[in-house]
Amino acid sequence: MRLILFGSPGVGKGTQAKILSSKLNIPHISTGDILRLAVREQTPLGIKAQEVMASGELVSDDIMIGIIKYTLEQDKCAKGFILDGFPRTHEQAHAFDDMLEKMNIHDVYVVNLTANENEIITRLTNRRACKECKTIFSVSEIKGLSKCPKCGTEDSFYQRSDDTEDVIRHRLDVFKESTQPVLRHYTVKKKVITIDALGTVDEVYDRILKALNNVAPDEISISA
């Protein structure tokens, strides 16, 4: 199964992609995570991307297309993948189409997660992550805890530097202007499944699984 998880920052793409990846046993490719790792390791890519990411702007299409091309050529992506954070511009979407065409892949579904803007801003300002296992929590879930409930690491919670209110607002503007229009590209091809992303993580996951089971029952077992 090949999926694009689409939606605004903070809508829950990363959380759902991680669950789908482990239940369906297909790799989760998050371009944000790839870039953040490069920034942490201060690779040439990381040094280039650092400031752009901190401001909430988009890293250049050339760089992002190169990253995805390299990643999709890896063996681990041969049977499927879940893209989270790509494509984010028309140029990326067109380059991605070309890659898929060359790889003779035609079965990509777009899972479009939606939520209202107030909910998104609340989620993002309250978002924390474990730096060890990368699980995402809301502040209320980890209140008073010193260890990550998922992996047990001590003092591992952090807030992303681009999750401050002014950067969040800018990222939402960038989403509306550059990324939201990309959905039309896929709607024309009738590959979009729109899912209400309000509710608990489990509720949203159930909605996604049911919707995928309707469009691609051979690739999904509803009990997954």
Of 171 and 207, which has the nearer Cβ to ligand AMP?
Answer: 171
**How many residues are recorded in the chain?**
224
Helices 31-41 and 61-72 cross at an angle (nearest 10°) of: 100
Structure-token match 């992002």, residue found: 64
Please count the residues of this chain forming the interface with ligand AMP, following the rule CB under 6 A: 17
**What string marks each residue from 77 to 96 as x (binds ligand AMP by CB under 6 A) or -?**
--------xx-x---x----
Applying CB under 6 A, which of residues 52, 99, 100, 201 lies at the interface with ligand AMP? Answer: 52
- Is 171 an active-site residue? yes
For the bound state, the minimum distance from the C-beta of residue 57 to ligand AMP, rounded and expressed in Å, comes to 6
Cβ neighbours for 13, distance < 8 A, ≥ 6 positions apart? 5, 6, 7, 84, 85, 113
- Is 13 an active-site residue? yes
Dihedral pair phi/psi, residue 193, rounded to 5°? -115, 115
CB 35 within 8 Å of CB 45? yes
For the bound state, the minimum distance from the C-beta of residue 218 to ligand AMP, rounded and expressed in Å, comes to 29
Tokens for 75, please give them.
């063996």
Q: Does 12 bind ligand AMP (CB under 6 A)?
A: no
Stretch that binds ligand AMP, among 53-61, 72-80, 112-120, 204-212 (CB under 6 A): 53-61
- Is 127 an active-site residue? yes
Binding site for ligand AMP (CB under 6 A): 9, 31-32, 35, 52-53, 56-59, 64, 85-86, 88, 92, 162, 171
